[in-house]
């Protein structure tokens, strides 16, 4: 969470903003840990079992942007 979500950047926020940031960052960290575990235990698992359609579209857009720049 420290490096991936940059939680140290939240230290000057008020309580409401900080609570939202912590909740969001906790979900992100949980997903990253889950994906790491699944990558080790079930490397052939289809992505559609882990990601919903919207997340798949974002991944495709990011992948296509990388190939266009690269």
pTM of the predicted structure, to 2 decimals: 0.62
Q: How far is CA 68 from CA 15, 22, 57, 63, 65, in A?
A: 41, 34, 17, 9, 5
In this model, does residue 70 exceed pLDDT 60?
no
In the chain, what are the domain boundaries?
A: 7-69
Distance CA 21, CA 10 (A): 7
Distance CA 51, CA 55 (A): 6
| Residues whose CB is less than 8 angstroms from the CB of residue 4 and which lie 6 or more positions away in sequence, other chains included | 28, 29, 32
In this predicted model, what pLDDT tens digit does every residue of 1-21 receive, in sequence order?
556 666 667 676 788 888 888
């Amino acid at each position: 969470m420290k490096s991936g979500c940059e939680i140290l950047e939240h230290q000057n926020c008020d309580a409401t903003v900080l609570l939202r940031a912590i909740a969001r960052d906790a979900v992100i960290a949980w997903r990253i840990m889950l994906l790491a575990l699944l990558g080790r235990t079930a490397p052939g698992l289809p992505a559609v079992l882990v990601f919903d359609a919207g997340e798949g579209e974002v991944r495709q857009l990011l992948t296509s942007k990388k190939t266009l720049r690269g």
